[in-house]
Amino acid sequence: MEPHDPSLKATHEKALRLIRLLELLKLKPWTAQQLAQALGIKKRAVLYYLQDLQELGSHLGFRLIHDEIRRTYSLNAGVVLSDIEKVVIHTALRMLYYHSPGHNQQYQEALLKLARGLPEPARSVAQKSVEAMAARGPGLEGSNLEKITNAWFRRQLVQFHYQLPGRRELTKFELETYFIEVSRANMAVYVIGRERSYKGQLRTFKLARMQFVTLVGPTEAYEIPASFDPREYLSDAWGIVGGRGDPVRVRLRFSPQAVPRIREGGYPNLQELEEGDDGSLVVEVAVGADEDGFPIELLSWVQSWGPRVEVLEPEGLRQVWLAEAHQLLERYDPQRVAGPKTYWAHTHKDPTRWQTLQEHAAQVARLAAEKAQPFGDSEQADLAGKLHDLGKYGDLFQRRLEGKEKGLDHWSAGAHLALFEYRAPALALAIQGHHIGLQSGAKENLMAMRLREDGQGFPPELRLSETRLEVLKSRMQSDGLELPPPSQAPIRLPQSAAAMLETRMLFSALVDADFLDTEQHMRGPEVRRPEPPPLQAREALERLEARLAQLAADPGIPPQIRALRQTVAQACAEAALEGRLFTLTAPTGSGKTLAMLRFALKRAAQDPRIRRIVVVLPYLSILDQTVQIYRELFADFGSHYILEDHSLAYRPLRKELSDEQDILERERRLLSENWEAPIILTTHVQLLESLHASRPGACRKLHNLAGSVLLFDEVQTLPTPLAVPTLKTLAHLASDRYGSVVVFATATQPAFDTLHAKVQENEPQGWQPREIVPNPAALFGQSQRVAVEWWLKNPTPNPALTTLLAADSQALVVLNLKRQAQALFQQAQERGLEGLYHLSTALCPAHRKEVLREIKARLDRREPCRLIATQVVEAGVELDFPIGYRALGPLEAIAQTAGRVNRHGLRWEGRLVVFLPEDEGYPDRAYAQAAKLTLALQAEGGLELTPATFRRYYQSLYGIQQVSDPEIEGHIKTQNYAELARRYRIIETPAVNVVVPYNEEALALMQEAREHGIAADWLHRARPYTVPFFLPHGGPPAFLEPVFLRYGRQNSEVPDWFLSPDPACYHALLGFTPAEGGPGSLVI
């Protein structure tokens, strides 16, 4: 017959209908009409099919039975069971009925199949059970079972979202299914397997809690380990929780009335220990526990015995048992509960260690007052500590701690009291923001702090824990927390940056105190924070003076450089005695690093308010060098005498503490949260953005800036639009109120003092710093080491630059854009120049570090070394070339390149050529403006790199560029902390972070991100292998691979982190070059 023969098709369809008819008849008796409806055919056709089955029965081992009275048809398959076997099937059917997950057709058909061989009346009971199951509503458990079963039998991975206890958001998992089990405790269905999303451990999941279940990947994707034995894994489970190692041993005493029932048996892992004289019985149960070591499944069984059982141990279970019994009595017979109600602030995995609200509020008030004492705000901080959690006295919040409520606002009640009874906007903002961050202090926002009768909290999606303020105050006072009398003063609405700093400092004291007390509660009294050593200013100054004396006598340093450094260091020592705002204008190589430290220690030795020194640097390369110098100098002053706080400061942590280094690293991270160390080294970004931040984590450290000497190096890197708001904030920090001292140091000192009038608008202070060096011009004349030539009439083509590089065995070329540097590098490479190197942000930090190491070695050995770079090389890089070529740019950038030429004065004179490149281009508009200004000033007459020239340059620059961002000024006037924090950015760039395949460690980090997602520790380890990249408008290109958060909401993708695993995208010399000339080429 032909393949499409109609008779063959009809035969095939009939065979399928016969098979389906057989399956239906196996389930239960049917009338012919019922079968016709089930099969979707006419009754006459069903009768023909039944006749066919009658003839086939003897061949296939079944008999078609026709009940003429009921007019039904059924099959007798000839299964012969003993009575005991029938009872076993009946019992299994009853179990299936009880744990059937809602309305599920497959469960119903399975039950009918099992019932087929049962006699009456058991068969009728089973059929009625099926009818009852059909009336149940649908549930997740039933719909998930088929997928989980397929995953198990086919060994296919399954992905799903899961509602973990105590979490609001769903968590995404990927699972290898090892076993499906029905809990002995609650008859629910669970799946056991190895989760691959986080820790790779065996875990148990309840089918009813699983959502969005999907099978992924191929079948046979994994092997169930031969070592996995479900019986062993569940051997200590009371219901389904087991397999976590040593079981918890629970001792119970049952009353005489309960003993006979206990001895009836059926309880797993229960052992009789001792019978009392009164007939009571002590038993021990070995039972599995949850992740916190608590026998959660056993608790409900114990409670089911009511007063006929007593928990003897462990103590944690006993306390939970007693606490829940007490709550039960309190709810239904409160008159029998003696003593005042206890209000709680925090839970704990050990139920005996919950923290009372009275203890937490009192401790936070004490700690906050201590932290605000250096700037005279102890009373306000004490009140903030008492009021910050006032809303936790609400019944709804107490229920939240029991896991019975969520989405609550517990801060608005305290903020209301602070504003409307104590008339203190700063206090109200600090209390309101201690979880959600500082908001807006504008009048309309402050008025909205009044508690709403409808219970709406702030933000509006939250509910107030209590709307009745008097109830909260009464409960607080009953707890022994006394409040001062209300104030009658008018509410002041400030409009200054100084007022915003004052609010942030109060906020900082509060949130640090709150963090510390909560942390101590969670960690327990046995775990203490590290205690940093004191500053020891006099001892440290003696050590530094000895080091300076050594350097002054070092014959390896040219005499003129030694003399220059001695002059700067002496000026710093003499200027340290009085004043709070300073500039230090000194040429490159004049020893500013140690000279500024001498200034700070000298000031600290005679000023009792000075508690710490904060060194603020723009680039990590400078910071690394400075840290190394300081650590060598103060090696024996304690392990935490010097603290780094920046994006690359932290070593990865092991899961277990295995050596002293890990302990020190954990302690260092704790100290970095609030800068509790004598000497801090950080970046401009970290410090300045924190000073203008609104979030608790960023502001937490600010109170420790009171009584600090802040040493800013390379201040010319401060973005011009941020100049005025930054100076406003720093000027107030350097006021008598906070007792801090600020030093701005650079070889190219901006003329910030000319902005004094703008800084002083609406502020208590302006900007009038004192210069530390008496005569900077003479100092620069004494240190002249470089002659500058200006080739600006015509562009200098790349072939000419290549020829110049060939003429000098050691030379530096600095261009403004990455594409310019790459083009010149490729032409020089074609010429076969020896010792050729490239530096730009296209190279990841680890790569740049290695290249710089090679360059320094070649320069020291006087070997050929030709470096083509962007301005990434200009600051904080210790290089010393005999000649340099710098593309036209801002005057301060040209000076920075000059600092890499004849840096140590080892030659009679270095040479720097400033030229126009053939491919003129600049990173941004402000950079281009500054470069054009340099060109204009040079056209007016020769430019020398002296303080007077830079003053003239900056005064002109301030005339063509904004010195204060209008949006930020507006946010200062409205006291909008959240929006100001969003706008204030030292590095304002839409670039994303791309991890590149620089080495095996980078590739391992990529694989870790794919398998487990990324978290804070991963970010710290990935930073050395990261480059910036500008995304095109169409979205991430194909060579970028997205990553997801390890602990984020539903493992969401991270918008600003990507992987680029393709080695073809990362050049061994040029770095990340996915598409030359594309958007990425604009990164310097």
Model confidence pLDDT, tens digit, residues 148-177: 888 999 999 999 999 887 677 788 999 999
What is the structure's pLDDT at 561? Answer: 86
Q: Is the Cβ–Cβ distance between 372 and 506 less than 8 Å?
A: yes
Residue 1076 pLDDT exceeds 50: no
Higher pLDDT, 287 or 769: 769
HSE, side-chain direction, 13 A CA sphere, residue 851: 28
Residue 337 pLDDT greater than 70, yes or no: no
- Is the CB of residue 222 less than 8 Å from the CB of residue 158? no
Contact 354, 490 (CB under 8 A): no
Strand order in the sheet with 171-182: 202-206, 189-195, 171-182, 157-162, 210-216
964 or 90, higher pLDDT: 964
Backbone φ/ψ region at 212: left (φ over 0), alpha (ψ -120 to 50), beta? left
Share of the chain above pLDDT 90, in %: 53
Average pLDDT over residues 52-80: 75
**Element holding 630 (H helix, E strand):** helix 620-633
Contact 354, 321 (CB under 8 A): no
Residue 368: per-residue pLDDT: 97
Amino acid at 458: F
What pLDDT score was predicted for residue 79? 54
Whole-number pLDDT of residue 620 = 73
pLDDT (mean) for 646-662: 40
Which residue matches tokens 């500082």?
A: 438
Indicate the SS3 state at residue 882.
coil
Distance between first and last Cα of the chain: 76
pLDDT at 296 exceeding the cut of 90: no
> Does pLDDT of 140 surpass 70?
no
pLDDT reported for residue 19: 85
Q: Are strands 157-162 and 171-182 parallel, antiparallel or unpaired?
A: antiparallel
- For residues 749 and 153, give the distance between their C-alpha atoms in angstroms, rounded to a whole number: 73
Residue recorded with tokens 């209008």: 966
Higher pLDDT: 419 or 987? It is: 419
Going through 8-83 in order, the beta strands assigned E by DSSP cover: 30-31, 63-67, 72-76
Q: What is the pLDDT of residue 611?
A: 95
Specify the amino acid at residue 389. D
pLDDT (average), residues 766-771: 96
Of residues 991 and 956, more confidence is placed in: 956
At residue 102, the pLDDT reads 56
Measuring CA to CA, how many Å separate 764 from each of 499, 736, 757?
10, 11, 12
Is residue 103 within 8 Å of residue 137, measured between CB atoms? yes
- Residue found by looking up tokens 């006072």 in the block: 477
Region 758-785: mean pLDDT is 91
Q: Residue 52 burial (CB < 10 Å; 0-12/13-18/19+)? A: middle
Higher pLDDT, 612 or 660: 612
pLDDT over 50 (residue 671): no
φ/ψ (deg, to 5) at 398? -60, -35
pLDDT value at 1050 more than 80: no
Higher-confidence residue of 472 and 653: namely: 472
Q: Residue range 986-1002: average pLDDT? A: 87
* Mean pLDDT to the nearest integer, 1007-1027: 87
Query: What one-character-per-residue DSSP string does 662-717 give?
Result: HHHHHHHHHHHHHT-SSEEEEEHHHHHHHHT--SHHHHTTGGGGTTEEEEEESGGG
* Confidence band, pLDDT 50/70/90 cuts, at residue 648: very low
3-state secondary structure of 730: helix
Model confidence pLDDT, tens digit, residues 490-545 = 999 999 999 999 999 999 999 999 999 998 888 877 667 777 889 999 999 999 99
C-alpha closest to that of 411 among 395, 398, 430, 425:
430
Q: What is the structure's pLDDT at 651?
A: 41
pLDDT of 1 higher than 60: no
Q: In angstroms, what is the C-alpha Rg of the chain?
A: 38
List the structure tokens of 333. Answer: 């017979």
Which range, of 87-96, 380-389, 647-656, 903-912, averages the lowest pLDDT? 647-656
**Beta strands, E only, 241-333:** 248-254, 270-275, 281-287, 309-313
Query: How confident is the model at residue 288, as a pLDDT?
Result: 81
Where do runs of H (alpha helix) occur along 861-946? 891-898, 925-940
Q: What is the pLDDT of residue 665?
A: 41
pLDDT the model gives residue 77: 58
- In this prediction, residue 676 has a pLDDT band, given cuts at 50, 70 and 90, of confident
The residue type of 74 is S
Mean of all residue pLDDT scores within the chain: 86
Residue 321 has pLDDT above 80, yes or no: yes
Mean pLDDT of 448-465: 93
Q: How many CA atoms lie less than 13 Å away from 204 in the CB half-sphere?
A: 21
Report whether pLDDT(476) > 60.
yes
- The predicted structure's pLDDT at residue 678: 93
Least confident of 57-66, 997-1006, 1048-1057: 1048-1057
- Our measurement of the distance from residue 647's CA atom to the centroid of its chain's CA atoms, rounded to an integer in Å, reads 13
1007 burial level (CB within 10 Å; 0-12, 13-18, 19+): exposed
**Numbers of helices and strands, H then E, in the chain:** 39, 35
- To the nearest 5 percent, what fractions of the chain are helix, strand and coil? 45, 15, 35
Of 521-535, 651-665, 674-688, 1069-1083, where does the model show the most confidence? 674-688
Most confident of 100-114, 391-405, 983-997: 391-405
Average pLDDT over residues 947-958: 93
Measured CA to CA, the distance from residue 704 to residue 673 in angstroms comes to: 11
Position 1081 scores a pLDDT of: 36
CA quadruple 84, 88, 94, 95: dihedral, nearest 10: 160
CB distance 781 to 621 below 8 Å: no
Within 10 A of 559 (CB to CB), how many other CB atoms are there? 9
Minimum mean pLDDT range among 77-91, 438-452, 458-472 = 77-91
pLDDT, one tens digit per residue, over 727-746 is 999 999 999 999 999 999 99
Query: CB–CB of 425/431 below 8 Å?
Result: no
Q: Is 120 helix (H, G, I), strand (E, B) or coil?
A: coil
Report the percent of the chain where pLDDT is more than 70. Answer: 89
Confidence at residue 657, expressed as pLDDT on a 0 to 100 scale:
34
Confidence of residue 1078 (pLDDT cuts 50, 70, 90): very low
pLDDT value for 268: 78
